[in-house]
Amino acid sequence: MTQIGIVYGSTTGNTTKYAEMMQQLLGKERADLIDISQAEKEDLARYPNLIMGISTWGYGDVQDDWGKKMALLQEVDLQKKRIALFGLGDQEAYPSTFVDAMGTLYEVLVDCGANPIGAWPMDDYCFDGSTAILNKQFVGLALDEDNQEDKNTNRVETWLQRLEDQWLT
């Protein structure tokens, strides 16, 4: 039985790229991909573990598909689920709103009773502000495809290894 749902929304394909990378690293027998634009309540309810990927557009806007489906999260009992977030943003062009959409998704999940895991250190980034910071860490994995693409594969691999102890046991 598949234990992990990787839920993502993608406009340009960058978030899809990392969702697919995560599925490959975790194994297709363990992880399914779920495009949020096609997701229904049952798609989110069936998995004990969820990875949710979202990108930030412009000055802190949520990716369009997530914007249309955010209310769906309120229909699912998230209290017993282990949920980890990853977000894409551009820390140079939008330094004051870097990965803000991940912060927005985090707040919605917490309001729905979830306790997201998978915080990520702020080291090796250069930005001015983000709503995705809690206790001096990102609330999930922060990726910058525009300026730090060369670091993203290692970040994904390291993050998934850290999650293994927290949610896949």
Each residue's pLDDT tens digit, 52-80: 999 999 999 999 999 999 999 999 999 98
The pLDDT of residue 151: 97
| Pair 8, 34: CB distance under 8 Å | yes
- From the list 87, 60, 83, the residue with the least C-alpha distance to 73 is 83
Q: Report the share of the chain in percent with pLDDT over 90.
A: 92
The pTM (predicted TM-score) of the whole model is 0.95
The pLDDT of residue 64: 94
* Superfamily per CATH, domain 4-167: Flavodoxin domain (3.40.50.360)
The pLDDT of residue 2: 65
pLDDT tens for residues 135-158?
Answer: 999 999 999 999 999 999 999 999
User: Taking 60 as the threshold, does the pLDDT of residue 10 lie above it?
Assistant: yes
The pLDDT of residue 80: 86
Euclidean distance between CA atoms 31 and 168, whole angstroms: 11
Euclidean distance between CA atoms 14 and 146, whole angstroms: 10
